[in-house]
Amino acid sequence: MRIFKQQLMDGIVRLGGTALLLISLGCVVGPKYHPPANQAPAAVYKESPAQFKETGGWTVAQARGCQAARKWWEIFNDAELKRS
């Protein structure tokens, strides 16, 4: 019985030592991570006022005060919208 207890204790110690070794090895994964620096991309526009002739007449939108004050549904000239 005494030999059995000694073998059991030796097995538990070996198992515990192995577990501690595996756990400590699992903590070391690789080099310390450094996130890359954020850099905003350069602004690139497909169309600009400088390219007016090449873009087929497209222009940059301009706000109109008088149209903003009108009833928005009248812009579409739709009888269904005007009715409601």
Res 44 pLDDT > 70: no
* Mean pLDDT along residues 52-75: 67
- pLDDT tens-digit readout, 12-31: 989 998 888 888 777 766 78
- Kindly report whether the global pTM for this prediction surpasses the value 0.75: no
pLDDT at 68: 58
pLDDT bucket at 53, cuts 50 / 70 / 90: low
Q: Which of 50, 68, 72 is nearest to 59 (CA)?
A: 50
